[in-house]
Amino acid sequence: MRSVSLRSLSEAELAAFQTRQQGNNCAIHAAIAALKLLEGLELSPQDLSAEVDRLWWHGHFYRVFPGWGVTPCMQARLINYLSRQHNLNEHAHCRLLTHAVLMEMLEQDQKAVLVTLTWLPGKAPALYHGTSSANSNATHKAGGHTMLLAAYDPAHRSGELTTPWGFINSWAEGSTELFWMEDQAFRKSAFGAVLPLNIHPSVIIEHTSKSVKVL
């Protein structure tokens, strides 16, 4: 299986879209990275997080509670809100995607996909920065994390491990390297943590030239 990456960009070019998160804002960073990559839009994660918190108090729910996480369907609604606010031609919707479809998405220049990992206590999937063998997700707590899918490279290795799935991740500021996962760890980090389903809760962001009604 051949290597693919978002817009055929190199790892260093993709890693430059990474911004380090503060607080529970991984989905906001992932959404901003996607819109910057697709449209060149520059947004401040801190400012957008504060705006999302303010909107919550006015009945516009783009995160669970102020300062809390953002579910995949909320991520889609947030991106559609930003598309309206900034007069963009982007439309987002949440889907459950197989890994085969995720690889297909990487080959489509007008699309980007946010993926959300979930895990039970003691079952956190390992994430590796570049070729490092150090696990960046060595937590024993239950949790979730959203990243922008950036690459698939069957030959990529982190230490002695084969780590084919590459992500733009909010655990680094810039850098020349993406964050990578083993195939089996990625497969188990969605509903496979609870149910044996080979699908991931995902948000497809698509550039469209025609008007699309979004909620």
Q: What is the pLDDT of residue 190?
A: 67
Q: How many CB atoms lie within 10 A of CB 168?
A: 27
Distance separating alpha carbons of residues 8 and 116, to the nearest angstrom: 23
Q: How confident is the model over 10-55, as pLDDT tens digits?
A: 999 999 999 999 999 999 999 999 999 999 999 999 999 999 999 9
3-state secondary structure of 108: coil
pLDDT value of position 196: 47
- How far CA 66 is from CA of 54, 63, 130, 171, in Å, comes to 8, 7, 33, 21
Helix (H) or strand (E) holding 105: helix 99-106
Of 19, 29, 41, 52, residue with least CA distance to 90: 41
| CB atoms near residue 14 (< 10 Å) | 23
Judged by average pLDDT, the poorest of 56-70, 106-120, 192-206 is: 192-206
pLDDT digits (tens, 9 = 90+) for 127-181: 999 999 999 999 999 999 999 999 999 999 999 999 999 999 999 999 999 999 9
- Element at 55 (helix H, strand E): helix 45-57
Instruction: List, in order of start, the domains of the chain with CATH numbers.
Output: 11-207 (3.90.70.10)
Predicted model pTM: 0.93
Q: What distance in Å separates the CA atoms of residue 106 and residue 42, rounded to the nearest whole number?
A: 22
How are the residues of the chain apportioned to helix, strand and coil, as percentages rounded to the nearest 5?
30, 25, 45
